[in-house]
Homo-oligomer: A and B are copies of this chain.
């Protein structure tokens, strides 16, 4: 479904948000340990997220990553997915036949379109906050 990079990005974002929610800033090491991801790979991914202003990074002693509380409500999964994997999951043909569903549709175009729309709707309507609450209440896990 998503690339591994994107999965790490989502899990990392949720973890950072969950900690920020409790006013805790986290380092790359913390993140990698808590979402079980390779540390330097995670660092690379976080740089992308920082550039796209999905996470906020602070250098130096006491630094790390955080997501300002106001943003935890605002950031949704679609933003993260697009930042990492681009919008191909929303736009490209499920059979790689074309640029999808125009004059030259593949045989699955209608069926795919509907599933992709559901996926898009889901990603768009799911903000970090609700996921964070689940994780912090111990209902769901990142590892």
- List the interface of chain A (C-beta within 8 A of B): 1-2, 4, 7, 10-11, 14, 77, 89, 94-98, 104-109, 111, 114-115, 118-119, 122, 126, 131, 134-135, 139-143
Q: Which residues of B contact A140 (CB under 8 A)?
A: 105-107, 109
A114 to B105, CA, bound (A): 26
Cβ-defined partner of A1 (8 Å) among B1, B14, B114, B122: B1
With CB as the reference atom, state the residue of chain B lying closest to A143: B97
> Quick check: B7 and A96 within 8 Å, CB to CB?
yes
Cβ-defined partner of A141 (8 Å) among B2, B105, B111: B105
> Quick check: B94 and A2 within 8 Å, CB to CB?
yes
A140 to B140, CA, bound (A): 42
**Could you tell me the distance in whole angstroms from the C-beta of A59 to the nearest C-beta in chain B?**
29
> Quick check: A107 and B142 within 8 Å, CB to CB?
yes
Cβ-defined partner of A118 (8 Å) among B96, B97, B109, B118: B118
Write 13 A-B pairs (CB below 8 A) sorted by A numbering: A7-B94, A7-B96, A10-B108, A11-B95, A14-B107, A95-B142, A97-B142, A97-B143, A107-B131, A107-B135, A111-B122, A115-B115, A118-B118
